[in-house]
Structures are given as C-alpha cells and as structure tokens.
Amino acid sequence: MSSERPDVLIAGAGIGGLCCGLALARSGRSSRILERSVDVAEAGAGIQIGPNGMRILQKLGVATHLSGFAAAPRGIHIRDGITGSTLNWLPLGDWIEQRHGAPYWTAHRADLQAALLAAVRRVSEIEIVPGFEVGAVFTSDSGVAVTAIDRRTAEAPVLIGSDGVRSTVRAAMFGEALPLYSGKTAARAVITAVGGLPDDMLENVGVWLAPGAHVVHYPVRGGDELAVVVVVQEPSTGECWNTSVDATAVYERVAMLAPELGKLLRRAD
C-alpha cells in the first residue's frame, strides 16, 4: 500500500467501488480502494444494463472492455407462464439505442467486474488494496481514518462506503441496520449448453409471468450462455441472501411456474 495519502478512500472493490474510483479519476482525484477479499472477483450470475447505466460505462471507458462478452438483446418477450402464450414484446436493440443514445446490454457479473478491473488498472490515480477488511472508522477535523482487522490503517479526507448490503462503513457511521426480508426470494442459474434452445431465447430478454412469481432469462457471455432468475413470493427461509442453490432445484421451480419454459430448459440441459 502506498504511503501517499489519496484524495478519497473507497471501501469495497465491487461494481460500485470500481465505478466510483473511475469516476473520481476523471475529475483528477486519486482514490485507494480497500477490498476485504484477496482476489478481486465478482461471483453471481447475470446483470441487465439499461441505457442510463451503459452511458456511464461508456464515459468511464469500460464498455470497450465489456463489448466482446456482453449481449445486446433485440427485445423483451413477455409470456404467460402457464400457457407460454405471448403477452407483449418490447423493442430493445437498435431502437432503444437510437432513442436513448446508448444500448441495452446483458452480461455476466464476472465479465462486468473483469472489464471494470481492466479499466481501473489503466488509471494511475487508482490503487486497489486487497485483503484489507475494514474493522473500524474514525473521523476527525482532518478527515477519516480506517483501521483494518489486521491493524493496518489508511487515511484520507473522504471515505466512501461501497462495501455491500452489510456495510461496515454504514454501520460505523449510522449504526447497525440489518436488511429486511421483502417477501420474495430469487434463485439464479447460468446455462452453458444453449445449443438446443430456440433463437428467440438467445436473442431476447424473456419474462414469464405466473401467480405470485415470475421467471426472467437473458443471454450472457456474448450469447454463449443463458442467465435464469426465478423470483417467488414466499415466507422467509431464514437463510443468507447468497446461499447456494442446486441448479436442479432451480429448473424444477421453473418447470412448476412456467411449464413450457421448463421443457425448453430440459432440452438444453
């Protein structure tokens, strides 16, 4: 870690923290990003990025790194989950880019994270410190001091908390605030064997609506894979928000909520 004091400390090297560092660098401000993990990598599945988000990624120089790994869906195909019949189709592709001045992309979170890291590593004003888990935050007239679990320290005039839903920075400044269960669970999976799927599924965002639930799928990895998200209204299971779920369980839930989609996914599995 450099001994030079940066303009800003950022807790967390996730999507938000890396974007924040790039945005600060554009205005000539240096930042030091403190990341608890030793390896800066994003887990998870897919992410949809609308024109507002894409416009920011373009300005930050990230879109060029992501372009080969993202997909640009032609539209959003909305279906009845039970019958599989089309309810509506909303255009994306060229239409939305011409209307809003930026495209609509879908990507794997790991690919977005890699693109952000590639952009960050080309900017001298940003330093990433891996393995720095924020343990305590202290404020003074001269700025903010952060102490890590391993007793390392970092100081700057400003600290930005981008350290997730259970933010240590937020808790230090405003007290503990545990997230509340919304009444819905979301299970995600990524299908790699997409050769048996129809072109419609690989060219569009799909939304299948069912009572108290819905299923969303969209292409990632340049269209070579398909991200699937199942959202169900149900009582809290008491499990952590990022608990692993067996892919078979996700497919079984899809088959129950949207039988026609379940048949298509079984064909690809």
Active site residues: 218
Q: Is 99 left (phi over 0), alpha (psi -120 to 50) or beta?
A: alpha
Of 112, 91, 88, 119, the C-alpha closest to 103 is 91
Angle subtended at Cα 160 by Cα 136 and Cα 124, rounded to the nearest 5 degrees: 110
Distance (Å, whole) CA 30 – CA 18: 12
Q: Could you tell me whether strands 213-220 and 75-80 are parallel, antiparallel, or unpaired per DSSP bridges?
A: unpaired
Give the tokens for residue 42: 């994003």
Angle separating helix axes 15-26 and 109-120, nearest 10 degrees: 30
Of 99, 33, 101, 112, the C-alpha closest to 70 is 112
Residue 67, C-beta contacts closer than 8 angstroms, at least 6 positions apart = none
Of 169, 178, 175, the C-alpha closest to 139 is 169
- The answer to whether residues 32 and 1 touch, using CB atoms and an 8 Å cutoff, is yes
Angle separating helix axes 51-59 and 93-100, nearest 10 degrees: 70
